[in-house]
Amino acid sequence: MKTSCLSAAALVLLQLAAAQPHRQNVHKHVQRSPAKEVVILKQNGVPISTYTQEAGGSPTPAPAPAPEPEVKNKGAKAPNSYAPPAPSPKEDYSPSDEPASGNGISYTPFNDDRSCKTQDEVNSDFESIDGYSLIRLYGTECDQVTTVGNAAKAKGMKLYVGIANDKVLSPDQTANYGSIQSQCEAISQAVGGSWDLIDTVGVGNEMVQTGVASGEVVKAIHAAKDALKGKGYDGNVVTADTFVAMIDSPDICKASDYAAANCHPYFDGHVQPENAGEWVKQQAKNVGDKCGKKVVITETGWPTQGGANGNAQPSKENQETVVSGIKEAFSDNPSGVIFFSAFNEAWKEDTGATNGVEKYWGVLSN
């Protein structure tokens, strides 16, 4: 296939984004459905991201990530001293006995000023969350596995809990085994050793898309599996990444218990809202064909405010069309899709580099 080089302007944007602290559920990728041209973004001569575009097309600059909320009592990282055992191809990390059966939706427990929401505030949010069977989280800060777990359990929902990227990786972008082990211990303590609430444990989000070597991600997945198995958990352990990264680096989905692919039609730039459902389903099929296993779309949606990306125009009307179309496309497999996100997230920073959309993905927001 033809390979294109990164333009100077795009490289400047990429370097600026890389210099900022990243938030694990911030959109920072350009997606293109399979076409005639593969573009490999490079920094200092090293490939850090790959996507496809139509021959002769120009990608929209990827939004810059927002900083992580500053919360108190986050805890110190565990020493990077744990070495995982060599993975066995015969190990079977079976899914939970009662997996989530309906659509999922993501949620973050932060107030607009980035402070942690209380149990009462989380409960109040959950009064509006109906018609979903799974809640996706991105980290353990703010004691969210406990507070969100309590609210989810009261409504018969399950959790996809997450280990944040900065708890998965060391500063040199290698798997931080001690920190992973500590995070698994924190999750185990939050659920009291009773794993019925947990559908999936997610090890990072979009790490390969942002330049982490896939081999390090695979090591992190196996380290988490080993630590969690020692705590009595035998459910799903995955890493989530963009569908493009999954197809380009199938080792990360093969190491996961299912292929967890983020897939946003808005970032493609060519998908009309009325076609979004079938487009997302096609990308899920492409990932499944490459990975050879079950696929869950772990993020998808449409922004309601901000700038257009090619033909993709943010609006509430378009979001409703997209969400309805995706639900229809996955009507035979509703647990195969997690929407992003429950509410708008005013705690995030939005700049020109993020196309003005970062705060405005709330499916349940006005």
State pLDDT tens for residues 119-170: 999 999 999 999 999 999 999 999 999 999 999 999 999 999 999 999 999 9
| Those residues with Cβ within 8 angstroms of residue 135's Cβ, 6 or more apart along the chain or in another chain | 104, 105, 106, 107, 129, 148, 152, 157, 158, 159, 160, 342
Q: Tokens standing for 174?
A: 């290698």
- What per-residue confidence (pLDDT) applies to 353? 77
- CA dihedral sign of residues 11, 16, 21, 23: negative
Residue 280, pLDDT score? 98
pLDDT tens profile 42-64: 333 333 333 333 333 333 333 33
Residues 6+ positions from 120 with CB-CB distance below 8 Å: none
Instruction: Give the model confidence (pLDDT) of 220-259 as tens digits.
Output: 999 999 999 999 999 999 999 999 999 999 999 999 999 9
Active site residues: 299
Furthest C-alpha separation in the chain: 55
Q: Is the per-residue pLDDT at 37 higher than 80? A: no
Cα pseudo-dihedral 189, 191, 193, 197, rounded to 10: -160
Distance, in Å, from the CA atom of 215 to the CA atom of 253, rounded to the nearest integer, reads: 12
Q: Across-strand partners of 40? A: 50
Of the listed ranges 6-15, 287-296, 301-310, 317-326, the least confidently predicted one is: 6-15
- Are the C-beta atoms of residues 35 and 53 closer than 8 Å to each other? yes
**What pLDDT, on a 0 to 100 scale, did the predictor assign at position 202?**
98
CB atoms within 10 A of CB 123: 16
